[in-house]
Amino acid sequence: MNIGFFTNTYLPAVSGVTSAIENYRQELERQNHNVFIFAAKYPNYQDKNPNVFRFKSIDLNYKISYPLPIISSSRIGKIVKKINLDIIHTHHFFLSGQIAWYYARKLKLPLIFTYHTRYDLYTHYVPLPQEIAKPLTRLLSTLYANSCDAVIAPVESVKNLLLEYKVKKPIFVIPSGIDINKFQKTKNGEKIRKRYNIGRDKILLLTVSRLTPEKNLSFLLKTFQKINKKKKNTYFMIVGDGPEKEKLKKESIKLGINEKVIFTGKVLNQKISLCYSAADIFLFSSSTETQGLIFIEAMASEVPIISIKAKGAQDIITNGENGFLTSNNIDDFAQAVLKIIEDENLRKKMSKKAKRKAQYFSIENSTKKLLSLYKRAISQKEKENKLKQNSILFQNIFK
């Protein structure tokens, strides 16, 4: 099968969407399918994969930390026609999503759309009044979804959200999977602890995130301040980079916790597993996730999770079993973390249950579901195309 992925963000960007695309690409190719990726060009980055094709891009330098594709490209059009795609799968509705829609219609191919992102929760990046931007974004993403052949929701709560938005096209719940074997608890985590001089008698709290406003990382810093007052043997590691980094560093100084907070900056995907192996508890406070691959990565690494109760998190974290879901309240969140810190047996039980649940989200399981959807969509599109051809033939006969 020849599969076309269209996306605004891809390597070298570090994000959940990038990870989902890469995980699917690797597993699909392992099963002898051909995956062709169409994405924005990154300055000074050279692809090793010959099946990655880049749109020219523009860096707006406005809050967004990655370049946006310029979708008007005759070169890309020639490539799309040449590679004989069987299906087109878009990972965004805007920009790359528009060109994916155009070629799907032009070549009479099925178009699949994965709703990775709660777009209405990212409208602060749009230079419009929020009372206009939010409903407009919901409307446009719904219209786009209804123009596709099928929509993928990573979790059940996102499917329910799309139904609330009045998406009428078939919605399939297919979690974005990970390679479970890459996120096993190993002794290699000690390398991270030694690098930052964190002994095994210390409790290491971890979050992995882009450092942007919607990730709510200030909340975690304030929470950690409360935790560290009660438990001096705690450290907090923040893995990731983004426009909020310096602001968050200054806040950690202001809160008096800067000596216990570690900002690692950007960490390559193949190295992130070491950070999970080093950690005791994973923290997350964003309410914008549709699924959150990092939850699954943490669970596969036997790390229990504390997260604000929100869509995405509540579909993966079973409260009291593999972690805790709390309100968006610093005291509640801190109490949940302290409960796991103080009860080592509870922490061990949650770690085992986290690892067990992660198996459900393996890339093998997710790819199996994805391929089933692809085959269904291709078969349906072939029937539709045949009916249209017969209709045109019938009309011509009776002209």
- Mark whether 74 and 142 lie in a shared domain: yes
Q: Please write the tens of the pLDDT for every residue from 159-201.
A: 999 999 999 999 999 999 999 999 988 888 899 999 999 999 9
What CATH number has the domain bearing residue 88?
3.40.50.2000
- Mark whether 160 and 260 lie in a shared domain: no
CB contact at 8 A, 225 and 257: yes
- Mark whether 21 and 140 lie in a shared domain: yes
List, in sequence order, every residue forming a beta bridge with 308; answer none if it has no partner.
Answer: 326
CB contact at 8 A, 206 and 234: no
List helix spans (H) across the chain. 16-30, 74-82, 96-106, 130-145, 156-164, 189-195, 217-230, 245-254, 269-278, 293-300, 313-316, 330-342, 344-358, 363-397
The structural domain count of the chain equals 2
- Mark whether 296 and 382 lie in a shared domain: no
List, in sequence order, every residue forming a beta bridge with 263; answer none if it has no partner.
Answer: 238
- Mark whether 215 and 319 lie in a shared domain: yes
CB contact at 8 A, 69 and 28: no
For the chain, what's the residue count?
399
Q: Please write the tens of the pLDDT for every residue from 217-257.
A: 999 999 999 999 999 999 999 999 989 999 999 999 999 99
- Mark whether 69 and 165 lie in a shared domain: yes
- How is residue 64 written in tokens? 């967004």
- Mark whether 149 and 279 lie in a shared domain: no
- Mark whether 37 and 172 lie in a shared domain: yes
- Mark whether 28 and 173 lie in a shared domain: yes
How large is the greatest C-alpha to C-alpha distance in the chain, in angstroms? 86
Q: Please write the tens of the pLDDT for every residue from 16-67.
A: 899 999 999 999 999 999 999 999 999 889 999 999 999 988 876 555 567 8
Q: Please write the tens of the pLDDT for every residue from 337-379.
A: 999 999 999 999 999 999 999 999 999 999 999 999 999 999 9
Which residue do the tokens 């002209």 mark?
A: 399
Q: Please write the tens of the pLDDT for every residue from 56-105.
A: 888 765 555 678 788 777 889 899 999 999 999 999 999 999 999 999 99
- Mark whether 192 and 165 lie in a shared domain: no
The domain in which residue 189 lies consists of 180-360
- Mark whether 245 and 288 lie in a shared domain: yes
Task: Quote the pTM value.
Answer: 0.88
- Mark whether 282 and 356 lie in a shared domain: yes
CB contact at 8 A, 208 and 292: no
